[in-house]
Amino acid sequence: MSAIKGEQDISIVFVMRPEHDFPIGTTFCICQGTTTNIVELTAATQQFDKPMDAIPHGWKTICAFRLLGSGVSILAGLPFANDWYGNETALVLEEITAPGASA
């Protein structure tokens, strides 16, 4: 897990095989214990300097999420991923709205 320098509300996260496509701009709710975050998907990629316009269904990707609102970021507390396979910590992101959809 990492934050972009100068962007304390941005977290870089490894995302494994989502069940649906999620376009950039999609917002999600994340809950862990008594903490709830609302985050927005701001970027996705599988290769350096190759931006994607969505997280494709079934793909492993590296994504940037922006924390909306204030509070402690659940994503910022995740451990670093060392590879594409050995990740034991997982969170479930619940889609709230997709870009262009009414809330």
Mean pLDDT for the stretch of residues 93-102: 76
When divided into structural domains, the chain yields a total of: 1
For residue range 8-54, list pLDDT tens digits in order: 689 988 888 888 899 999 999 998 888 899 999 999 998 878 899 99
**CA 33 to centroid of chain Cα atoms:** 18
Which comes out higher in pLDDT, residue 102 or 94?
94
Q: Phi then psi for 84, rounded to 5 degrees?
A: -80, -5
Range of the domain at 77: 2-97
CATH assignment at residue 39: 2.40.30
Count other C-beta atoms under 10 Å from residue 59's C-beta: 15
For residue range 50-97, list pLDDT tens digits in order: 899 999 999 989 999 999 988 888 888 888 777 766 667 777 788 888
Kindly report the pTM of this predicted structure.
0.80
**Distance (Å, rounded) from C-alpha 26 to C-alpha 20?**
12
